[in-house]
Chain A
Amino acid sequence: MTLLSIRDLDKSFAGARALSGASLEVRAGEVHALMGENGAGKSTLIKVLAGVVKPDAGGIEIDGAPISIASPADALRLGLRFIHQELSVVPHLSVAENIFLGRDYPRRWRFMIDWEGLNRAAAAVLAGLGVSHINPARKMARLTVGDQMLVKIAAAFQDASIGGGVPARLYVMDEPTAALSAEESQRLFAVIRRLRAHGAGIIYVSHRLDEVMELADRLTVLRDGATVATRDIAGLQKLEVIELMIGRRFAEGYPPRLAPVANEMALSVQHLSTGYLQDVSFEVHKGEILGLAGLEGAGQSEVIRAIVGADGGHDGAISLAGRPVKIDEPVSAWAKGLAFLPRERRQEGLVASASIAGNVSLPHLDDLVRFGLVLDRAAETEQAVGLGRQVKLKAKGPRQKVRELSGGNQQKVVFARVIAGKPEVLLLDEPTRGVDVGARYDIHALLRELTAEGKTVVLASSDLPELVYMADRVIVFRDGKVATTVSTEGLDQAALAALCFGTPTAPSA
């Protein structure tokens, strides 16, 4: 029986298409995996269901009746529940209180809370999900992330068990196991199977292919905002799923290499370790683009952040052009000729209240100074105008506020900042994420020019074609460690994807 049916959703943000023809059908009593690369549209689809994003076109039906979800309250009223990796729990309240938050607690003598009754009720809800190891009286903060998630699910589930509210019928779980241990994941799966047995539908979003194959009944794959296929898990091969996710794209749309890689060493990283990274070593040559690949959070970003000292100190040695350097904060990275483009443009890249020129000049203010401390505004403007032209920035002028620019142009501002100091090594974390096709090509073309001039690029990206067509070599990370290093010569996206997923059946590259 079809519980939820989503048909042909379209959604654009500032001209960039996030969804174009996304469809999904979930039955009652099934775990339905939703898969796709980063940027394929999974999050947007979930946000539509949650009532956070309003689709431009398309329809949603529950039990065959068309509905609209205008707000999170609507979603709740329709019986939809969302479990994210970042949980909204009240840490200093007990498990039982978190389960019954916002509802009437059982009372004694009308006005006193019956704590024992509350704990008993919570224990009953947990037991209904087969969870017996969590004490309802414990403070939420003292639970592991995995147990907190189970409590959160119990809170969503109890609506049905005590009545009054709308029974939860569809659970949307977005990367729920991202922060869980293997044992916690198994507990979660047991609970999910219980929910399924109760007749609920579960949309399960995960990058972890093994998990999906183990848990899900069917899967739907999104690519570039559109649904490409829905398949039964039974009899499905992992490689098939990977191919569905990445599709077959063409090398067209990527600028060709302009010059061969030099034999001179530019950046060497030896035995780099942080709280997460374990013994990462690699070398990059002048004129080379080194790609960093892996699943989300496998270590690509962390390597770049560790090299520029974004998260404080680390173990291991870094040398530039053969000279050892010590970098424990970003300011020394910039000073030593390393330029850094952070992953999150809005949170980490831009000062939205400042102008284009003010954003570009930020790490280079010491070069724009007269009499030791006076900012040379004319020189700053000139710098922004020159670089703006070089990165093909579309703006009203160098003093326009960056908040008024489109995502692609904002990214070009950050990119202009990166190249403004004529750095020897560029460390780029997802430089083309959320950027339109034109801006993307411009950035790629600039990378080719820079490497032809002998500059070095380290490029962390979740966009596999970008790595295959732009990089000379790719390091694949898994769980904070270097899994393998491959040359992109003759490398096929599917093979690279298989390496990222750690699929043993992948052809060796």
Chain B
Amino acid sequence: MASALKTYGTLIGFILVVVFFWIEIPDTFMTAKNWLNISQQVSMLAVVAFTMTIVMVMGDFDLSVGSMASLAGIVAALAFHDGYGVEIGVALALIIGLAGGLLNGVLVAYVGILPFVATLGTLTIYSGLAFLVSGGKTIFGRDIPPAFSGFARSGIPLSDTVSLPSLTLVAALVLLAVWFVLEQTTFGRRLYAIGGNKEAARLAGIRVKRLRFFAFGLSGLGAATAGLMYASRVASANPTQGSGLMLDAIAAVFLGMTMSDEGEPHVLATLVGVLILGVLGNGLTQMSIDSYVREVLIGSIIVLAVAASSIGKARG
């Protein structure tokens, strides 16, 4: 019983939250349209949380994802502003994301700075760069090509009234890719070994430094992808628009980690974490509850879930 609660507590909590809103908002909550809406709302957070899972599998963090998302959006928008096409703008943003992530990787793996400190530093650098290159202004309107902003509004029609949003599809593809990398490849297996015991992994012939370097690159790439999704959705880019992503992404991974025996992050568990945050946001908004209350609630849920699973472990 206790161990079931430990493993499934977070999942049960998620179901309770869903049931609560279903009862409180009977007309609109439990509808395909609302769920597709939720999926679109959380898609950017989801992408960041999924790629964050990759570094957290090794026991590391990437605090720079939010400012990297902002920077990537700005870079793409500036490219559009200078007359480059959608493909070029998107490619540039993704390259910046990968490069920024790999820089984190160099600092953590090769220079040997603690991930917390290294990515706190680059968080500030990327954020500063976003302000610097944009002049602190929001880039919007005619600068953003319709083909780019239209993507977030497009979708695959599922029936006459609802369609699967393209952003949701992107998040699903990233989920699939990260799941494949972490759970099906030798790369993923090695990352889990590093997270389990770095020294044993190294002595067993795992190139710990190189893998950490690449994993941070993937996290940066995910952050840039989310930044592009965000810019597309609001048809504009400003240097702070990604800033809320980092804490929510780490929170989602933590919520997911409470579902594993070993306290290891797994990307499907991260998905549950993302959905908890997304459903809470959606439901509370529909109930017209203050967004500050939402923050207090989400914070409490994270603390409760993690506390419950640590208490379970301390006893075990």
Contacts and interface: CB of A to CB of B under 8 A. Distances in A.
Nearest to A363: B205
Contacts of B201: 351, 362
Interface in A316-347: 329-331, 333-335, 340, 342, 347
B205 A354 contact: no
Contacts, number: 78
B203 A335 contact: no
Interface stretch (B88-96, B126-134, B180-188, B292-300): B180-188
B197 interface: yes
Contact of A373 (B186, B199, B203, B262): B186
A229 interface: no
A334 B202 CA distance: 11
B203 A374 contact: no
B262 to A, nearest CB: 4
Interface string B168-211: 00000000000000001111111011011101111111110000
B189 A310 contact: no
B190 A365 contact: yes
B264 interface: yes
Contact of B205 (A350, A351, A362): A362
A330 B186 contact: no
B205 A375 contact: no
A116 B187 CA distance: 60
Given A353-B262, A365-B186, A331 B205 contact: yes
B195 to A, nearest CB: 8
A361 B196 CA distance: 15
Contacts of B204: 330, 334, 362-363, 417
B205 A333 contact: yes
Nearest to B188: A375
Nearest to B184: A374
Contact of B199 (A348, A353, A417): A348
A495 interface: no
A351 B185 contact: no
B200 A365 contact: no
A369 B193 contact: no
A173 B184 CA distance: 51
Contacts of B205: 330-331, 333-335, 362-363
B196 A353 contact: yes
Contacts of B187: 373
A416 to B, nearest CB: 12
Contact of B186 (A347, A348, A366): A366
A431 interface: no
Contacts of A363: 204-206
Nearest to A403: B262
Interface in B6-39: none
Contacts of A347: 197, 199-200
Nearest to B207: A331
Interface string B199-229: 1111111110000000000000000000000
Given A349-B200, A352-B197, A375 B207 contact: no
A365 B189 contact: yes
Among A347, A350, A362, find the residue whose CB has the most chain B CB atoms closer than 10 A.
A362
Contact of A358 (B184, B193, B202): B193
Nearest to A310: B203
A368 interface: yes
A348 B189 contact: no
A350 B207 contact: no
Contacts of A366: 186
Contact of A375 (B184, B195, B197, B199): B184
Across chains A and B, which 9 residue pairs bring their CB atoms closest together, nearest first?
A334-B205, A351-B196, A363-B205, A362-B204, A353-B262, A365-B186, A353-B196, A331-B205, A351-B197
5 contacts: A330-B203, A347-B200, A354-B192, A363-B205, A363-B206
Given A308-B203, A361-B189, 12 more contacts: A331-B205, A333-B205, A334-B205, A347-B197, A352-B197, A362-B193, A362-B201, A363-B204, A365-B190, A375-B185, A375-B189, A417-B204
